[in-house]
């Protein structure tokens, strides 16, 4: 049974940081979309600001929802570390910075 704990822990140590990085990428994408929409709204003559306000508001709500998801995933990460300690006696001093194959969080920003 200890092998099962080890295999499960190894899979989670890859999956959790990957999920964190993907949510961060989505937050960045929403910020870029917001920039483009607001820039376009101001750049197109004759389009009143009120036309794009609902869109800007929806993007802001979507981005805040992603921020909430990010917080939930961080809490899940902490929960899983605690479960690992309690269940398998894993002493995880530091979680891996990134999942294998996933770009580093700062490397995502280009």
**Per-residue pLDDT tens over the stretch 17-44:** 999 999 999 999 999 999 999 998 888 8
Query: Residue 81 has which token pair?
Result: 């570390």
Residue ranges per structural domain of the chain: 2-108
Residues 14-24 have pLDDT tens digits of: 999 999 999 99
- Residue 3: pLDDT band by 50, 70, 90 thresholds? confident
Residue 81's alpha-carbon distances to 12, 28, 37, 75, in angstroms, are 10, 27, 40, 10
Residues 42-94 have pLDDT tens digits of: 888 888 878 889 999 999 999 999 999 999 999 999 998 888 887 766 555 55
Helices (H) and strands (E) in the chain, counts: 3, 0
Supply the pTM of this predicted model. 0.71
């Amino acid at each position: 049974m200890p092998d099962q704990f080890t295999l499960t822990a190894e899979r989670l140590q890859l999956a959790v940081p990957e999920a964190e990085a993907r949510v961060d990428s989505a937050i960045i994408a929403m910020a870029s979309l917001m920039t483009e929409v607001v820039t376009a709204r101001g750049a197109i003559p004759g389009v009143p600001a009120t036309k794009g306000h609902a869109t800007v508001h929806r993007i802001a709500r979507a981005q805040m929802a992603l921020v909430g998801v990010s917080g939930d995933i961080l809490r899940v990460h902490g929960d899983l570390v605690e479960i690992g300690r309690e269940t398998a006696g894993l002493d995880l001093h530091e979680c891996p910075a990134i999942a294998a194959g996933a770009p580093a969080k700062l490397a995502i920003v280009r």
